[in-house]
Structure 1
Amino acid sequence: MGERAHPLQGYGTRVADPIRLAAVHACGLLDTDPEEPFDRLTRLASMMLDAPLAFLTVVDDRRAFVKSQAGVESQAGVESQAGVESQAGVESQAGLDPVARTDRRRPLAETFCPLVIDAAGPLVVSDTASDTRTRGNPMSATLGVAAWAGYPIFSPDRQIVGVFSVADTHPRPWTARDLTVLETLSEAASGEIALRATLARATELARTLQASLLPPRLPEVPGLDLSARYRPAGTGSQVLGDFFDVFHTGPAGLGVVLGDVAGKGVEAARVTALAHYTIRAAASRSTSPAAILGQLNTALLTQRPDSERFLTAAYLDVRKERSGRRVTLCSAGHTPVLLRRAQGDVRPVGVHGLVLGVFDDADLVDTPIRLRRGDMLLLYTDGVTEARRGREQYGDERLRSLVGALGPVSADRLTAAVEAEVLDFAEGSPHDDIAILALGLPSGPGHR
């Protein structure tokens, strides 16, 4: 007698629905390595239901991709299509290489998953050989599946992106408790997908918000060399408090500020925004950096009295003179501003005042500096000097040595070199934001 054609050759329209397929690809699980949050769920399913096999499968319109699988002791005829035999004890297949990942792809016609998608609900089969919905499916022979139960996995917008299932090598009735456990674990898988989507949106929002608090580009100022760099901590999923700004304060003046708000998140962003606009407004009425930062201190104490956020900042008022630039500096509890003279010596400049937003009198002092050809000022946040390798910090001395060793380079080369060395020291992504700003006078035509 000829073998009967299995029903998946004519699966319905839900599997190929464009909206569903968009949700499948948006969840970002296709063709990815196993991950512990999903492996934990398949292990639990196998253990709690005493099922030889458990799967979390993502399904598009071409194949079913096994994102996670777990099983118990290897049994005769039970072998994954990936070519990896089930191991003794409950165990996930975490750590598979890309070749094994490719082998975890299965044709739709060799799984029961499309039936769940078409039904838009669970599929429970006690005997796959006798049930007309599953009889003749190659999955029964390939994996030795004699009983199977699967529940849909949903995207945040409730599109079915996959199936959470368990299988047995012998026919068995699935009890009400079995199905409750399976449904709960499938909902947990859907919750993990929703959590990742929320995190991705939050990361994008954080990056957008952070970018809105930084100037899109620095102004072009004839005769002045300017460069700034910003590097968010980690993945950039949180809004932290490093900020900088460079803006004209009249026909002959330039305001330059670099600061660091304590903390992170929405509250830090609010304080950063307050600082940004207060400094610009204050600079339109005064050329004294101490007065400008003093007004910011007052704003922090009066407009956000309940906030525990404080900030450090260094502000420069830059004025053009015949022989160069006259710079007035005020530091409010900030990391030292470094001055590199054209001759190569490097030293901190300015008087170290108190942080802003804590004390009524922040003890702010203006320090005059004259910049001549080849001189450069470097402003930075503590993400530079406090970058860590193990227990060791990058530190002030390393930074000064680097700035001195570079010689008369452009502002852009200086900020790039500092960023590169700090990231190399920290061996990857920084644990704190990094903001770097350099301002100087070109030493000559070949300076850049």
Structure 2
Amino acid sequence: MLVTVQPMFVGGTRPDGLPAALSDPRRLAAVEATGLLGTGPDDVFEDLAQVAAAVTGCGRAFITLVDEHRSFWKSCVGVDAADISQRQHPVAESFCYFLVGLDGAPFVVEDATADPRTAGHPALGPMKIGAWAGYPVLGRGGEVLGSMCVIDENRHAWQPAELATLATMARAVSNEINLRVSLTTMQDALTSAREALETSTLLARSLQDSLLPPVLSRVPGLETAASYLPAAGGTSVVGDFYDLFHAKGPWWCTVMGDVCGKGVEAAKVTALARYTLRAEATQHLSPATVFEHLNSALIDQRQGERFLTAVYATFRTTPGGIAGRLCTAGHPPALIRRADGRVQEIGRPGSLLGVLPEVKLTDVRFRLAPGDALLLYTDGATEARARRTPTSGERPLFGEAALAAAFADCAGLDASGMVRHLAGTLTAHSEGWASDDTALLALRVPPRPPAP
């Protein structure tokens, strides 16, 4: 007689033998925050499940959300379950609890009746499970919300390509859910702003700040600093954004972007861009490849209604400083200031993102030695104009040459000092009346201490 052998679940088990993680309050709150429990079919999730079923050749594919007592099918392909009440099962009668108990690890079974982990499971007969493969759907904080899974009625020797596609589909579902949660939060903030018009400027800026990292990540052996300068009198959320984060292993990533337009629609694209970039950075080290995936996401979800420009670099620290690759997509080139004060542009012109399915993008390698610095910026820096007055004539742009000169004039300054110097120079040029928002981000390799 076959006996089910439960895996070693992270966090142990409940009295009923199921994973204790099913009842974790933080996880349950994240599941509830999706707003998807008990809701009907959704085209985005149905399409993803259809792709998973087609690629694996399985007759059934599911996207599930798992609370404390049930597994809810947000999407189900190959199952006749039109009524909401038919799209949920007790969690004990589902394989999805394995993913919750394994804290985000995949769960793959080639022969469910013979595998000691699933032999005798109550779902085998009713669900006709011959083989099962599932990857976790994760919340913003890493909580296991549910699964992206496929079921074959027969034994199935899962191929690496099938599992890789299923993992990608699970990440896509996670990104879609997390984007919706973020947008709901932002929409709630904007609703409050409309109800209290007198605080609209404060709330809009608060939302803008939520799209920027409150504190830059600390990169060992590197100075980092950033600044966001809002346009004078602005009350709209705009699309300037930047980020600095760890990708994997020794690799770090930094990005500066500018979404076309203002308001909540620009904020939606900004949120989509940030989440997509962070997700793809863990899979690809090439900035151009990451941008290609972001372009596809923008085309798929925004139908070309909004575009963005960006510059993105992937780098690692070395004994001599940092080495990396950089790509620009319709964005102003980055600047490198060498320790001796020379300033050079870096980055080849590339396509805008979110306009056309095919883009032309090129990675450029770069190195920073001790005392060298890299500057990313939005066009608000080069297009800054002096304040308009009743008697003012032509208001010249600050320009690329002036920005390079101001950057060169940063001798002896660390990254924070460089950003403060550049921000002060731009403010002086516009006389405190910036016509556009401006973002600046600097990375600097500290100079070597002088020899004794």
Q: TM-score per shorter chain, which class?
A: 0.5 to 0.7
Give the conservation status (yes or no) of the 8 Å contact 1:410–1:442.
yes
Contact in 1 for aligned 2:221/2:317 (Cα 8 Å): no
**How many pairs does the alignment contain?**
251
AA at the equivalent of 1:438: A
* Cα distance, 1:406 vs structure 2: 2.0
**Amino acid in the other structure paired with 2:242:** F
Structure 2 residue aligned with 1:97:
none
Residues in 1 aligned to 2:333 and 2:198: alpha-carbon distance in whole angstroms: 36
Bigger drift between 307-316 and 265-274 goes to 307-316
> What is the rounded CA distance, in whole Å, between the counterparts of 1:364 and 1:354 in structure 2?
6
Do 1:246 and 1:256's aligned partners in 2 also have CA atoms closer than 8 Å?
Answer: yes
1:376-415 Cα deviation digits (max 9, x unpaired): 1111000100001252100001111111122242111111
What is aligned with 1:358? 355
The aligned runs of 1:393-412 (5 Å cut-off) are 393-412=397-416
Q: Which residue of 1 aligns with 2:417?
A: 413
Q: Does 1:327 align with 2:324?
A: yes
Q: Distance in 2 between matches of 1:407 and 1:321?
A: 23
Shift in Å, 1:197 = 7.7
Tell me the secondary structure at the aligned position of residue 207 of structure 1. helix
**What are the residue-to-residue correspondences of 1:29-108 with 2, within 5 Å?**
none
What is the match of residue 94 of structure 1?
A: none
Structure 2 partner of 1:261:
259
Whole-angstrom CA distance in 2 between matches of 1:377 and 1:412:
12
1:237 corresponds to: 235
Per-residue deviation, 1:201: 3.0
Contact residue 330 and residue 364 of structure 1 kept, 8 A: yes
Deviations 1:202-246 (A, max 9, x none): 222211211110001011122101100001112341100100001
Residues 385 and 430 of structure 2 are in contact (CA less than 8 Å); yes or no, is this contact kept in structure 1? Answer: yes
Residue 344 of structure 1 contacts residue 408 of structure 1 at CA under 8 Å; is this kept in 2?
Answer: no
Aligned to 1:222: 220
Match 2:246 to one of 248, 267, 270: 248
- What letter is aligned with 2:263? G
Residue identity opposite 1:281 in structure 2: A
- The answer to whether the 8 Å contact 1:271/1:309 transfers is yes
- The TM-score, its normalising length taken from structure 2, stands at 0.54
Equivalent position to 1:373, from 352, 370, 373: 370
SS at match of 2:409: helix
| Counterpart among 202, 205, 212 of residue 204 in structure 1 | 202
Note the C-alpha offset of 1:361.
2.1
2: CA distance, partners of 1:405 / 1:297: 37
* Contact kept in structure 1, 2:372 and 2:444, CA below 8 Å: yes
Aligned partners of 1:393 and 1:298: how far apart in 2?
Answer: 34
Structure 2 distance, partners of 1:200, 1:439, is: 38
Q: Is the 8 A contact 1:342 1:408 kept in 2?
A: no
- TM superposition shift of 1:441: 0.3
Amino acid at match of 2:239: G
Instruction: Tell me the distance in 1 between the aligned counterparts of 2:339 and 2:411.
Output: 8
Is the Cα–Cα contact under 8 Å of residues 329 and 368 in structure 1 kept in the other structure?
A: yes
User: What is the alpha-carbon distance in structure 2 between the residues aligned to residue 201 and residue 445 of structure 1?
Assistant: 49
Deviation by residue 1:355-375 (Cα, 9 ceiling, x = unmatched): 111122221111000111011
* 1: CA distance, partners of 2:309 / 2:329: 5
Q: Output the CA distance in 1 between the equivalents of 2:194 and 2:204.
A: 15
Structure number, greater radius of gyration: 1
Contact 1:289-1:328 within 8 A present in 2 as well: yes
1:429-448 alignment, distance < 5 Å: 429-445=433-449
Amino acid paired to 1:255? C
Residues 213 and 243 of structure 1 are in contact (CA less than 8 Å); yes or no, is this contact kept in structure 2? yes
Deviation at 1:285, TM superposition (A): 0.5
Structure 1 runs (4+) deviating above 6 angstroms are: none
Partner secondary structure for residue 249 of structure 1: strand
Contact 1:206 1:236 in 2 (8 A): no
SS in 2 for 1:425: helix
TM-score, length of structure 1 as denominator length: 0.54
- For 2:374, give the aligned amino acid: L
Contact 1:283–1:292 (CA<8 Å) still a contact in 2? Answer: yes
Post-superposition offset of 1:200: 2.6
Q: What's the counterpart of residue 189 of structure 2?
A: none
What residue number does 1:170 align with?
A: none
CA RMSD of aligned residues (A): 1.7
CA contact (8 A) 1:341 1:376 kept: yes
Distance apart, 1:302 and its partner CA: 0.8
> Does 2:279 correspond to 1:281?
yes
**Runs of 5+ unmatched residues, structure 1:** 1-194
Matched, 1:348 2:352: no
Match of 1:300 in 2: 298
Aligned-partner Cα distance in 1 for 2:313–2:194: 42
1:185-196 → structure 2 map (5 Å cutoff): none
- Whole-Å separation in 1 of the counterparts to 2:347 and 2:240: 20
The code of the aligned residue for 2:431 comes to E
Distance (whole Å) between structure 2 residues aligned to residue 254 and residue 375 of structure 1: 17
Name the amino acid aligned to 1:324.
G
* 1:196 Cα deviation after fit: 10
Shift in Å, 1:336: 1.4
**One-letter code of the match for 1:300?**
L
* 199-208 vs 363-372, which moves further: 199-208
CA distance in 2, matches of 1:287, 1:197: 45
What is the CA–CA distance in structure 2 between the aligned matches of 1:249 and 1:445, rounded to whole Å? 30
Q: What CA distance in whole angstroms lies between the structure 1 residues aligned with 2:305 and 2:385?
A: 26
